[in-house]
Structure 1
Amino acid sequence: MAKSAALPLLLTFFLFSQVNIAISNPAAGAAPQPINILAILQKAGRFSTFIRLLNQTQLASQINNHVNANSYGGLTVFAATDTAFRNLPAGTLNGLTTQELVQLVLYHIVPRFYTIKTLATTRSPVRTQATGRGGRILVLYFSGKANQKQVNVSTGVVRTTIYKPLTTRSPLAVYQLDKVLWTSQFGLSKEF
């Protein structure tokens, strides 16, 4: 009888000691915060138009789902600033169909995680997530010197420098651009 009375007491002691260990060290098993493209852009400021387009096209949630699912290869996003969008000819975005807006945003996304150094040394052309007329995959061209940490990106219509990274937390890299990546597939065939 003494054995059966001691068993619940031992179990209670064991459970409370385990709870105490878990409470005293809560960060030991804490998972990292999920990556959120919108939070990254909002924190940096200057990206309200790009944020609006990510929401309007529902690509923000797709990016977040992709990078938080431990997807192989990651993503690199080239985020154009509000000034870059203001420098487009008047009415340019309003003249695009919903599908063209989706493709425009996808043209700013490369299906691989790139650091500045790997962008500087990568072989061009680099495939984007966008497709053009006839289902043709749209590409970007990169040039630069890894030791100078400066990389230029060209669409064939627009050429700009890739500025500071907003994040390079694998599997997502986000870089600031001062021009909107544009191609003749979207209607304008000259740089602006």
Structure 2
Amino acid sequence: MASHRVFALLALLLVLQAPASDAQHTKEVIVILNHANQFRMLIKLLQDTGILNLIQNAIDNPNPNFQGITVFAFNDVAFRKLPPGFIENRTLAQKRRLLQYQVLVGFFTFNGLSTLNGPVNTLAGVPLTIVQALPSRPFVSSGSVITAVKNPLTEDFSASVFLVFDVLIPPGL
């Protein structure tokens, strides 16, 4: 477990050392999410916390150790499932941790996720668990929430983005 945290923290430090991207690059991730027209709340949260720039920097300016990222994008319906005030009552650091928990350290295609079974590191330093509950249909679990991974919004190296219908809550949040 400690090695998972060390690996995720090292990956995050490497991402944070990437040069800042300009506004044109940041719009690329927004375009992917806006194309599906169901991620307004997620986009706002990604922008407000700076995580959008962190993700885009990792994609645009990969360091030699970068192996891609995989994002579980929860839609507006997922936000409405949360208890009232859940997001609003969190600190900036807690919101950042929540969003970093939706990002796997490593690039996975849908087929790649379909063959996994077990913990995978996140940018938050706490692993999510990939579970094969149905044939060829991966699910992702935070322990308290389990949700199906839907077909990708994009899965071009170095980033893949998958729709999920629940917000994955990291332990202790």
Shift of 1:89: 0.6
Q: Which residue of 1 aligns with 2:52?
A: 60
Q: Which has the larger radius of gyration?
A: 1
1:152 aligns with 2:139: yes
The match for 1:79 among 68, 73, 77 is: 73
Q: 1:107 aligns with which of 97, 101, 105?
A: 101
How much is the aligned-residue C-alpha RMSD, in angstroms? Answer: 1.9
Q: 1:55 to 1:112 in 2, by over 3 A?
A: same
Quick one: percent identity of the two aligned structures? 31
SS at match of 1:125: strand
Higher deviation after alignment, 60-69 or 79-88: 60-69
In the TM superposition, residue 125 of structure 1 has moved relative to its aligned partner by: 0.9
Distance 1:70 1:105 in 2: 20
State the distance in 1 between where 2:155 and 2:31 align.
14
Deviations 1:126-147 (A, max 9, x none): 11001xxxxxx3111002289x
User: 1:80 touches 1:179 (CA, 8 Å); kept in 2?
Assistant: yes
Instruction: Report how many residues are paired.
Output: 147
1:168 and 1:48 map into 2 onto residues whose CA distance is 21
Moved over 2 A (4+): none
**Counterpart of 1:142?**
130
Q: Does structure 2 conserve the Cα–Cα contact (< 8 Å) formed by 1:76 and 1:174?
A: yes
Please tell me whether residue 169 in structure 1 is matched to residue 156 in structure 2.
Answer: yes
Asked if residue 45 in structure 1 is aligned to residue 37 in structure 2, the reply is: yes
Alpha-carbon displacement from aligned partner over 1:112-168 (angstroms, at most 9, x marks no partner): 1001121122252111001xxxxxx3111002289x431100000000000121000
Unaligned runs of 5+ in 2: 1-23
CA distance in structure 2 between the partners assigned to 1:55 and 1:95 by the alignment: 18
Cα distance, 1:181 vs structure 2? 0.4
Shift of residue 183 of structure 1? 3.0
TM value normalised by structure 1 = 0.71
CA shift in 2, pair 1:184/1:62, >3 Å = closer
Bigger relative contact order, structure 1 or 2 (CA pairs below 8 A, ≥6 apart): 2
Q: For the residues of structure 2 that align with 1:115 and 1:78, how far apart are their CA atoms? A: 12
Residues in 2 aligned to 1:73 and 1:86: alpha-carbon distance in whole angstroms: 33
Which ranges in structure 1 are unaligned for 5 or more consecutive residues? 1-32, 131-136, 187-192
Change (3 A) 1:185 1:77: same
